[in-house]
Chains A and B, each alone.
Chain A
C-alpha cells in the first residue's frame, strides 16, 4: 500500500487521509516539510495563530534498514525567526511513522476550547484525547504516562510547560530507543505545537508494516557499501563514537574559534575542564556509556549517557553545542553542572542552544554572573516553567532579551542565537549563519568541516576566499541529506570517501524503483533552498536579514584579532545559483 498524508484539523478536531500528490511523491524529510509549509502556509501569518501549520515527515529512507536513516523532520513558520523552519531529530518517531505508512502528518487550525490534547496516530486514524492530567507536566512525566498507557513501541512527541506557554525556546521532544529524549530543538517549534493545544503526539506501531523496497537485492548491496563507508571513516567510525561531538571543544579552542564570554574571545583557559576527552574519561570512570545511538540503526553512536559522581543518570545526548554554550560562553567550568542543566532542559523541553546562548547574553544584561551555574539552574528550573516575568524574558530567546535590555552585542541572525563557532574566526560558517534560511544554524551547512577539520579539502578559516562557494555547496548538500532521513554525520564520509554518496543514491533508487543521479540529488537541494528562501522573502525577510550582528564588524576577536569583513554584496552572491 502506498504511503499517505495524514491531515489533522485542530479547529474542529477532524482528521482525514489523503493520497500523496504527484509532485510530493519523490520528497521526504525537509524537502517535504518545507514544500508543504511553502505551499500551504501564508508567509505573513502569525506563527502562533490558526493559519500556521505543523508538519512532520520522516526521511525518504526512514523505516528501512539503511544505517543512520532514522531522522524525522518537523516544519512550520518559526516564532523565533519569523521565517520557515525545519528541525530534524533522531528518536523513534521517524521509523514508526514510516512503517505505519505516514508520509507526512499535517496539523492545522487551532481549538477554540481551552484544553490540551493528545493526538494518537494509528493505522488510518488519529484519535483526539483531552489530557487535563498532563497539563502543567514536563516531558518525562508525559513519557511515564504514555508508557503506562501503551506498549513500549509507541513513539512519543511531547512539549513541557515552556511549550504550553508558547515561548520561543520551546522544542518538541521525542522519545529515543533508551526511553530518554531527543529534540526538534531550534526555532520554537514546541511553541507552535503548544499554540495548537497539543500536549503530545503518540504514534502506535501496533499495525505497522515493513516499508516496501522496490529492489531488495540492490538495496542490500548499496546498504552494505554505505555502512562500510560510515564504519571505516576515521571520524564517523572512531572519533565520534569515542568522544562524541564534544571532541570539538579542544580543536575550536586551539583554532581561536571557540566563542567565549558571550562571543568576545575565541579561546578559553578552562577548555580542558569541559572537553570531549575529559568527558569520555569521566563517563568511563562512573559507569556511563560513551557510545549510544539516538535512533535504532545508528552505527556511529556519537551520543552517550553521562552519570553523576554516584553513578546516577544526569543526562544523555550531551552535545558539544550545549557544553560550549554553558561552558566557555556562559562560563561554567564544572562539567557536572553543565550536565545537570542539560538534563533539566531535556525535561523542560527547551532548545539547549538558544537557552544557553540567552544565558550568555543575560550576563551582559546583569541578570546573572558569568559562570554562576546555580543561578542559571534556578532561572531555568523555577522562573522559566513558572512563567515569571524574568522567566518569560529568558524564554523569548537571545534576540528578544537583547531588545528588552537595550544591548548591541547580541549574537543572533534572523533572531536565532548563533551556535558554537565564531564566525569571525571560522568565516565559512559565518556565511552559512548569514544566509541560512533557518537563522543562525550550524547544521544547515557545516563549513567547520572544511575550515577547521580538513574534511572535504581545506579553506583557510580566517580568509574570505572560497567561503561563499563552500557555504553554498554545503547548504545545498545538507538540504538534500536532510530529506533522506540520514543523520548529517554521514556528510563526513561523503566528503572524503568516493563510495559513500553513490551508495546513498543507490539506496534511494532501490527503495523507490527510480534512477536518480547525484546531480538530481544536488538539484533537489537547490530547489529546497530556493523554496525556503522564497517563503522567507514573502514573510518579510530580506537581504538585510542575511547579515551577521554588526558588532562583529567593529569588535576584533582574540587571539587572531579577526573581524567580520564581508560586504553585503559579497554575502548576497550566495544566492546566485
Chain B
C-alpha cells in the first residue's frame, strides 16, 4: 500500500472533501482514483496534476504523491 494526498476542487468537493490522505494499492493510476471517487458523474475531468505538474490519467501514483483533480473550469 501507499499513501497519497488527494485534493479536490470546484464541483468535485460537493459531498466529498477538500483534501485527504488516502491509502491505495501499489500500481494505482490517477484514472483509478477518479473512477473510485465517481467524479466524472459530476462533471468531466478537466485537469489532473500530480505534484504541481500536468500528468496523463494513466500515471502510476507513488508513495507521497499529491494528486489534484479539477473538473473542466476556466475564467480570465
B37 at the interface (CB under 8 A from A): no
Q: Please tell me if the beta carbons of A239 and B52 are within 8 angstroms of each other in the complex.
A: no
Rounded to whole Å, the gap between the CB of B11 and the closest CB of chain A is 7
- With known contacts A251-B70, A254-B68, A239–B10 Cβ distance under 8 A: yes
Given the complex, which residues of B lie within 8 Å of A247, measured CB to CB?
9-10, 73-75
A453 at the interface (CB under 8 A from B): yes
B contacts with A: majority SS? mixed
Q: Please tell me if the beta carbons of A277 and B46 are within 8 angstroms of each other in the complex.
A: no
Given the complex, which residues of A lie within 8 Å of B64, measured CB to CB?
none
CA distance A277 to B8 in the complex (A): 11
B49 at the interface (CB under 8 A from A): yes
Please count the residue pairs between chain A and chain B whose beta carbons lie under 8 angstroms apart in the complex. Answer: 99
- With known contacts A254-B52, A452-B47, A454-B47, A277–B10 Cβ distance under 8 A: yes
List B30-76 residues whose CB lies under 8 Å from chain A: 43-44, 46-47, 49, 52-54, 68, 70-76
Residue of A nearest to B45 (CB): A454
Q: Please tell me if the beta carbons of A242 and B11 are within 8 angstroms of each other in the complex.
A: yes
A contacts with B: majority SS? helix
Q: Please tell me if the beta carbons of A446 and B54 are within 8 angstroms of each other in the complex.
A: no
A531 at the interface (CB under 8 A from B): no
Q: Please tell me if the beta carbons of B76 and A239 are within 8 angstroms of each other in the complex.
A: no
Residue of B nearest to A248 (CB): B75
- The 8 Å CB contact of A256, one of B43, B46, B52, B71, is B52
List B1-23 residues whose CB lies under 8 Å from chain A: 7, 9-11, 13, 18
Q: Please tell me if the beta carbons of B76 and A458 are within 8 angstroms of each other in the complex.
A: no
- The number of chain B residues touching the other chain, given as a range, is 20 to 34
CA distance A246 to B75 in the complex (A): 7
Given the complex, which residues of A lie within 8 Å of B52, measured CB to CB?
254-256, 267, 559-560
CA distance A461 to B54 in the complex (A): 9
Q: Please tell me if the beta carbons of A443 and B76 are within 8 angstroms of each other in the complex.
A: yes
Given the complex, which residues of B lie within 8 Å of A512, measured CB to CB?
none
- With known contacts A243-B10, A276-B10, A489–B46 Cβ distance under 8 A: no
Q: List 14 A-B contacts (CB under 8 A).
A: A239-B43, A239-B75, A240-B75, A245-B75, A247-B75, A248-B74, A250-B70, A254-B7, A254-B49, A256-B52, A272-B18, A453-B74, A454-B72, A462-B53
| Beyond A248-B73, A453-B47, 15 extra complex contacts between A and B, CB < 8 Å | A233-B72, A234-B44, A238-B71, A238-B72, A243-B73, A246-B75, A248-B75, A254-B7, A255-B52, A255-B54, A256-B52, A454-B47, A455-B72, A489-B76, A492-B74
